[in-house]
Structure 1
Amino acid sequence: MFFDALLLAIVQNMSLSIHTRNRASYPRIALTTYSVKPRGGVVHTLELAEALQAAGIDVTVIAMGDPDTKFFRDVSVPVRIIESPPWKDTLEQRVFSWIDAMTKGLSQLCDEFDIIHSQDCISARAAARVRDAGAGIHLVRTVHHVDDFTTQALIDCQRNAILEPDHVLVVSKLWQDRLRAEFGVDATIVTNGVRPGRFSVSMDDQRRAELRERVGASSRFLYLTVGGIEPRKGSRFLIQALAKLKANRRNSPVLAVIGGHSFQDYREYREEVLSSLEGLGLTLGKDVVLLGTVDEKELPEWFAVADGFVFPSVNEGWGLAILEAASAGLPVVASDIEVFQEFLVHERDAILTKVGDPDSLAHGMARLMDEPFTFRQLKENGPALAARYSWNTTALQHMAIYDGITSRDLVVR
């Protein structure tokens, strides 16, 4: 109760200051991202931008993409699209060509902003180049996670994208500790959030039946996951767990997979995982259904019609998709990686299973199907978990950081 009252007082104080202080003295913010596709960092960028705008902040989103193509959803803040270069064969070629293109684009826009806040390695490296060339900007970077690159050029690029910014943010204690230990960087924790009501949709029986029929789940338990088929999402372990469930049950569940767009090339891993289905007794299109990138208006409907959400990641910055599932009242089964344990309590907020262990994952998934009390408890607790995290609170945390950066700059001057 004391914490809630304190947080409310802080929020009210900051909201009051927005209206009483001269808005012209607030920094002009550019949030940059490498894509217009629905990846976690891009979703974070757009939600944060709109929450900042709602709080009265001058904010623009700058992204890489086709200038004639919009974001995957409508965006209420001003948007600038920097044209991305032609697609290259290797990840290394793509990264450096995109950094060059982003540098050129930002150099033409930087005079419009006081702070460039980058959400990824590519735009952070580009913004650092623009700053170091003499632009009067402050560079803030949110590190969502650190990739396991294998070439020295990409390892060095990622390291520089962490070391070069003026201020580094992370969304979890795990990554704060790792950045300090591995890079000597003291990062500030900000929270992720979820938009109230975003995943709470009402559907008639006909629409519900239509979506479930589309994935063959009319009379089968429907598990949903997001992020496509890729190593970081633990996709191989999920397929193996699903096979174990099918081998031991008369009525096995269906797995629907949403997403799949990635800057990195996971085709070999994806093909390996999908080619393993037959040997595991699974059928693509029947037991595993790939929905790809779904329309933004349809996405909440899938959360509404699914019976459970499974997210066995082996590496995450925080786990935004879990929060979205919880807000929809969708019971969650996830891996027990450290970052998930920062905001999830086993059997209260989710069933946490041993990371990289198909047996543990299959057991956790079976519990949602076999234990009505566990299913009901997680379903009821989900919205309460989501209510503890909002983009408005996240925006206030960022505002305090932005204001502190520019205030220190005024003192120095």
Structure 2
Amino acid sequence: MPRVALVSHSTTPRGGHVHTLGLAEALHRAGHPVHLVALGDPAAGLYRPTVAPHTVLQGPSRAGTTLEERVLAAIDLLAWGLAGRIGEFDVLHAQDCIAARATLRAREATGAPVRVLRTAHHVDDFTTPVLIDCQRRAITEPDRVLVVSEQWRTILRGEFGVAATVVPNGVDAARFPAVPVVDRAALRERVGAHGPLLLAVGGIEPRKGSVVAFRALAQLAAEADADRSPRPLLAVVGGHSFQDFAPYREAALAELPALGLQAGRDVVELGTVSDADLGAWYAAADVLAYPSLKEGFGLVAIEAMSQGLPVVASDVPVFGEYLTGGVDALLPAAGDPAALAAALHAVLTDDGLRERLRVAGAAVAARFTWDAAAARHSAIYTELAADTPPVQV
């Protein structure tokens, strides 16, 4: 079997790295020689314990740096770390733009006969010429490119002229421990959820549709006030990102008073949480509010479904690849707060609908396993390693 390094620019529990770790564990279980390499804090390690072999290299400092400076520094650090061990691998599988540029640079610097594979989970909205070019090269220069959805295969073909292969995400339902009812109640009490508890995962970010969620929440809160019933509360998990979304977050939170909402009362930020805590929030919440405007796959949706949490997402094309509106999730129009509010209200007030979504959602999640993803990846690694390596000059 080809020796594979799965390479990630981060150790934080965001979609790309969650994918990387889940894949690494499944490959390791299957006996495929795999080693995860990521940038982060070596003393802290990965965001959760794992039996998969891994190395955490020291990541760049965020203090006083621009996004461009952080990206370029991360590429340098990761390329240096990979170059020192490149002889241990036959395939370098990069999971993001930074990792792709670093793997290509490490191969160029060493002349090693190693193949470079890239999974493009999505394309970032970079604005500087340096980062735009960096991202383009990270997609066009690897030996082969994978994507996690048909939508992104179409985008890469149209915008970059790259023929990508689709290998969907997976989910491990057993990753989240069972949560006793008393603990769910304690979590709700901790955030002051005396009415419906809505859960958002991914932080307050543009592509997560956070402002749309806030405006929908305001409509639900006004209806609750009119009915003299408890207000819904939105708990937001996550928020740590390599990019700096602070201006968007601050503007979004600044809008709350005009919406009749209050930070810390109606919208509670929980920050980055452990796997166990994330599973507990999935169990404690009444509905996942996931009105994304752009996703590579939307791993959070099937995570929530695997834990029995009904999902209200959006009608962006990627969700339509594996979700059916009204059957296993509700998919209101992306960017439409009124439509989102109506969908959330339906789930919160219709017991029959809520149960149907739970059952159908669990069936969807069961179709996406890391073992299946690992088997597909293993075949691709074998194909790739059998190709004639590029000649280094």
**TM-score under structure 2 length normalisation:** 0.95
Tell me the SS of whatever aligns to 1:392.
Answer: helix
**1:307 is matched with which residue?**
286
Shift of residue 156 of structure 1?
Answer: 0.7
CA deviations 1:362-388 (Å, max 9, x no partner) are: 111111112222111101212111111
Q: Quick one: distance in 2 between partners of 1:62 and 1:401?
A: 20
**1:293 is matched with which residue?**
272
Aligned length, in residue pairs: 384
Q: Quick one: distance in 2 between partners of 1:78 and 1:354?
A: 42
Letter in 2 for 1:66: D
8 Å Cα contact 2:9/2:98 also seen in 1: yes
8 Å Cα contact 2:26/2:370 also seen in 1: yes
Letter in 2 for 1:228: G
Structure 2: gaps (5+ residues):
none
8 Å Cα contact 1:199/1:324 also seen in 2: no
**1:121 is matched with which residue?**
97
8 Å Cα contact 1:303/1:328 also seen in 2: yes
Shift of residue 123 of structure 1?
Answer: 1.0
**1:173 is matched with which residue?**
150
Matches within 5 A, 1:227-238: 227-238=202-213
Q: Quick one: distance in 2 between partners of 1:222 and 1:257?
A: 11
Q: Quick one: distance in 2 between partners of 1:207 and 1:200?
A: 12
CA deviations 1:268-297 (Å, max 9, x no partner) are: 110111111111101111111111111222
Q: Which has the higher contact order (CA 8 A, sep 6+)?
A: 2
Identical aligned residues as a percent: 51
Q: Quick one: distance in 2 between partners of 1:208 and 1:172?
A: 34
Q: Quick one: distance in 1 between partners of 2:311 and 2:206?
A: 20
Q: Quick one: distance in 2 between partners of 1:380 and 1:145?
A: 29
Letter in 1 for 2:349: D
Shift of residue 75 of structure 1?
Answer: 1.5
Q: Quick one: distance in 1 between partners of 2:4 and 2:268?
A: 40
Matches within 5 A, 1:58-73: 58-73=33-48
8 Å Cα contact 1:196/1:390 also seen in 2: no
Of residues 19, 31, 53, the one that matches 2:28 is: 53
Runs of 4+ in structure 1 over 4 Å off? none
Tell me the SS of whatever aligns to 1:409.
Answer: coil
Shift of residue 200 of structure 1?
Answer: 6.1
8 Å Cα contact 2:116/2:142 also seen in 1: yes
Moved more, 364-373 or 49-58: 364-373
Q: Quick one: distance in 2 between partners of 1:199 and 1:136?
A: 40
8 Å Cα contact 2:20/2:95 also seen in 1: yes
Tell me the SS of whatever aligns to 1:353.
Answer: coil
Of residues 84, 103, 106, the one that matches 2:82 is: 106
Tell me the SS of whatever aligns to 2:198.
Answer: strand
Moved more, 169-178 or 101-110: 101-110
8 Å Cα contact 1:120/1:142 also seen in 2: yes
Of residues 296, 302, 305, the one that matches 1:323 is: 302
**2:122 is matched with which residue?**
145
CA deviations 1:335-355 (Å, max 9, x no partner) are: 100000000000111000100
Tell me the SS of whatever aligns to 1:220.
Answer: coil
Q: Quick one: distance in 2 between partners of 1:31 and 1:120?
A: 11
Moved more, 264-273 or 188-197: 188-197
Letter in 1 for 2:12: K
Structure 1: gaps (5+ residues):
1-25
1:364 aligns with 2:311: no
**1:191 is matched with which residue?**
168
User: Cα RMSD (Å) of the superposition?
Assistant: 1.3
**TM-score under structure 1 length normalisation:** 0.91
**1:15 is matched with which residue?**
none
CA deviations 1:205-261 (Å, max 9, x no partner) are: 3322211101111x3111111000010100011101100111122332111100000
CA deviations 1:103-149 (Å, max 9, x no partner) are: 11111011111101000111110111112231221000000000111
Tell me the SS of whatever aligns to 1:335.
Answer: coil
Tell me the SS of whatever aligns to 2:37.
Answer: strand
Letter in 2 for 1:194: V
Letter in 2 for 1:208: R
